[in-house]
Amino acid sequence: MSWEGLADAVVKLRNLAEASESALQGAFSFMGNWSAAGGDFPAAPAEGTGSQQYRISVAGTMGGRAYRVGEQIYYDQFTSQWRPLTEALGSAAFATVTTSATDTTAGRLMKVGDFGLGATGNTAVFGGDLGAINTTQFLNCGPSTTGGPAGVNIDGAKVLHAKWADTNSATQILWTYNGATYERHITGGTLLPWLQTLKLDAAGNFSIGNSSAPNIAGYLTQSLDGVTGSFTDYRQSGANGLRLGADSGNGFINGAAGILRLLTSDIERMRIDSSGKLTSANGAAFVGTVAQGGNQSAIIQRGSNANGGYVRFADGTQICFTNRQTALAINNPIGNLFWTGSNLWTLPVSFVAPPTVSVSEAGGAGGCWGGLGTGGTDATTTTFALYRGTLENTQPIASLIAIGRWY
């Protein structure tokens, strides 16, 4: 800094000190009331006479700021302007504090603990009907509180009432002292039933939903000890759904015998075992021995013997198949055609009734087509033949498929 700059700074400091002294000599003079309704500040006091102070008696806007009745203004000699005496305090300095923990008067300043917010101890007990609440708040229930879930002791319960933009709609969540959680909605002023959503008891058992609620799709119960606990059900008793459980009491948690079962009409249909394998209801693989009805059997059974192969399904469908060389060549005249003559196929497993049989050429000279032989078809055998437009002295191979039911 140059000597000239330093000298200029000293002059400015001296002028500021003189202005301060001048203002302080006059101190503050209370001038009385002032109406802000006209939009103008009082005339500025003469320099060196100190600062003047007024109380706003009529609300209004001056200098682009709205003033309320009771506010104070003073003239700032340093900035040469009128200023609010409490401008650094903010709008909360003029707000009226709530008179109770449930005071809903608009514009009131909330205290810690109002509506249950921020309280470190118990909030005031609400002794009325939970269905009559119309403001967002947390509540403590007491022995005289009503409107809780039917048959549930709500003494000591906590309630959150969350109001929606629609003034007639809200959601209530209730936590009981024993760890159960209930929820209900208020739509258009109509109270819907309470539904149990969660429960965690003192033993660590966790559940979702409530099996006794008629409009709950299902429930899930789990013991959380990790050793003997097991998933049990996700369904209503006797209804469709999933059952997560264990055959021996060792639960799904430790993986000893945990399984997932799919039930319909309370009948187990299929399961996933502890190794992750998808099986039939009795634990058999999908491909195995099927039984009539299929509830306690494999879904698909496949086998073969000297007469061919077969696939048997749990719904009763059965397919038999084989490739057979005809006993004769296609050199037997039948009208203007040639055929192999009628051949017999004994089915590898029997049907409950004669199946539908298809015959085609699987190998040979080609140009052949197939059909039933002269003996027809019954539940255990069928006859077949191959036909050709010209003579062929080789024995072709027929592809045979029979489709029907085994029960």
Q: What is the pLDDT of residue 166?
A: 75
Residue segments in the chain with a per-residue pLDDT below the cut of 50:
1, 19, 22-24, 211-258, 294
Q: What is the pLDDT of residue 212?
A: 40
Residues 279 and 287: their CA atoms lie apart, in Å, by 9
pLDDT value, residue 245 = 46
pLDDT at residue 208 in the model:
62
Look at the chain and count its residues: 407
Per DSSP, the three-state class of 271 is: strand
pLDDT, position 106: 79
Pairing of strands 51-58, 28-35: parallel
What pLDDT is attached to residue 378?
96
User: Angle at Cα 313 formed by Cα 309 and Cα 317, nearest 5°?
Assistant: 85
Q: Which residues contact 284 (CB under 8 A, 6 or more apart)?
A: 297, 298
CB-based contacts of 28-33 (< 8 A; 24+ apart in sequence):
28/52, 28/53, 28/74, 29/53, 30/54, 30/55, 33/57
Produce one character per residue of 137-157: b if its CB has 16 or more CB atoms within 10 Å, e if not.
bbbbbeeebebbbeeeebebb
Count of other CB atoms within 10 angstroms of residue 264: 11
CA 8 to centroid of chain Cα atoms:
73
Let me know: does 147 contact 207? Beta carbons within 8 Å.
no
Using an 8 Å Cβ cutoff, are 332 and 338 in contact?
yes
pLDDT of residue 240: 46
Residue 49 is predicted with a pLDDT of 75
CATH 2.60.40.2080 domain range(s) in the chain: 315-405
Rounded CA gap, 236 and 215, in Å?
A: 10
Q: How many CB atoms lie under 10 A from the CB of residue 85? A: 14
Decide yes or no: CATH 3.10.20.30 for domain 315-405: no
pLDDT of residue 387: 95
Is 229 in contact with 243 (CB distance < 8 Å)?
Answer: no
Residue type at position 236: Q
